[in-house]
Amino acid sequence: MKKKVIIVGLGLMGGSMAMAIHKYTDNEVYGYNRTRSVAERALADGTLDGIADDNTIAEADIMIISLYPQATVDFLLEKMPKMKKGAIIVDLVGVKKYLDEKLTEPAKKAGVHFIGGHPMAGKEFSGYAFADADLFKGASMILVPNDSSPLWAVDEMDGLFNTLGFSQVVRCSAEQHDAMIAFTSQLAHVVSSAYIKSPEALRHNGYSAGSYKDLTRVAKLNENMWTELFLKNKEPLVKEIDEIILHLTEYRDAIANNEEERLCTLLREGRERKESIG
């Protein structure tokens, strides 16, 4: 059955969601964006069937919201009581426990079904100009149910995201999500940002190849968004930073003390770990 879907936030993720839903489903797609000109552009290029307002939001079957963490909480606390009973909301924020704590009970009170979501896809660039209907092809989508999200609603979103090209949909708790994302995503951004601050980075031209490019790619980040994400997931992230400091110190000491055998062992352990996990 055709659904009315509202996309809130038409940046890279939200814009790509709108394009994918428009391309791969027969649902009606409406968009809401703080800068209205972006929504008007999406309407003009055929991504949207209309620009959302409070009336449209009140009629929505599904809302997918792609804003910063606090903006997501603020928007949903205002809009959830105005939505129809049984509507499904999925956020695309990169932290889950914080949103779970802030939104689960208000969602239950409003009679809507809130599900945490996190698409494991992206680009180095942000904004609607870089949105792509096929951004999610082959990617993983994480869904984080809570007390406001019944199984049928999670199953429905699972099916929708598979239709959009995701290769798998993973379900987990908010705590598991945040612990894993601290390691697989947030730590990589911290390390990349710290690595590029070496004075030698200013003189790298002509000396760098693939390893440099791989390690520095995500240093080109949105500092406002990542600051908020880091601070709202500080306990798991600090744990991972402490862990990598521990291991870096092992390498540093082995090199400083000319411990050839120890250094070779550390490098072998790293290689074997990578080979075992892919």
Q: Which class does domain 177-277 fall in?
A: mainly alpha
- In the predicted model, is pLDDT for residue 204 greater than 90? no
- In the predicted model, is pLDDT for residue 260 greater than 80? yes
The stretch 38-44 carries a mean pLDDT of: 97
Return the pLDDT at 201: 86
For residues 202 and 134, which has the higher predicted lDDT (pLDDT)? 134
Return the pLDDT at 63: 98
The stretch 137-166 carries a mean pLDDT of: 97
Return the pLDDT at 167: 97
Percent of the residues in the chain that have a pLDDT greater than 70, as a whole number:
100
Q: How confident is the model at residue 203 (pLDDT cuts 50, 70, 90)?
A: confident
The stretch 178-205 carries a mean pLDDT of: 94
Q: Does domain 4-172 have CATH number 3.40.50.720?
A: yes
Return the pLDDT at 97: 97
First to last CA, the chain: 40
The stretch 267-272 carries a mean pLDDT of: 98
Q: What is the DSSP string of the chain?
A: ---EEEEE--SHHHHHHHHHHHHH---EEEEE-SSHHHHHHHHHTTS-SEE--HHHHHH-SEEEE-S-HHHHHHHHHHHGGGSPTT-EEEE--S--HHHHHHHHHHHHHHT-EEEEEEEE---SS-SGGG--TTTTTT-EEEEE--TT--HHHHHHHHHHHHHTT-SEEEE--HHHHHHHHIIIIIHHHHHHHHHTTSGGGGG-TTT--HHHHHHHGGGS--HHHHHHHHHTTHHHHHHHHHHHHHHHHHHHHHHHTT-HHHHHHHHHHHHHHHHHH-
- Count other Cβ atoms within 10 Å, centred on residue 29: 26
- In the predicted model, is pLDDT for residue 124 greater than 80? no
Q: How confident is the model at residue 208 (pLDDT cuts 50, 70, 90)?
A: confident
- In the predicted model, is pLDDT for residue 234 greater than 90? yes
Rounded to the nearest 5°, which phi and psi values hold at 35?
A: -90, 105
Contact call for residues 121 and 135 (beta carbons, < 8 A)? yes
- In the predicted model, is pLDDT for residue 171 greater than 90? yes
The stretch 43-52 carries a mean pLDDT of: 97
Contact call for residues 200 and 156 (beta carbons, < 8 A)? no
- In the predicted model, is pLDDT for residue 26 greater than 90? yes
Return the pLDDT at 278: 84
The Cα 196–Cα 215 span in angstroms is 9
Return the pLDDT at 209: 84
Domain residue ranges in the chain: 4-172, 177-277
Closest CA to 2 of 20, 17, 32, 22: 22
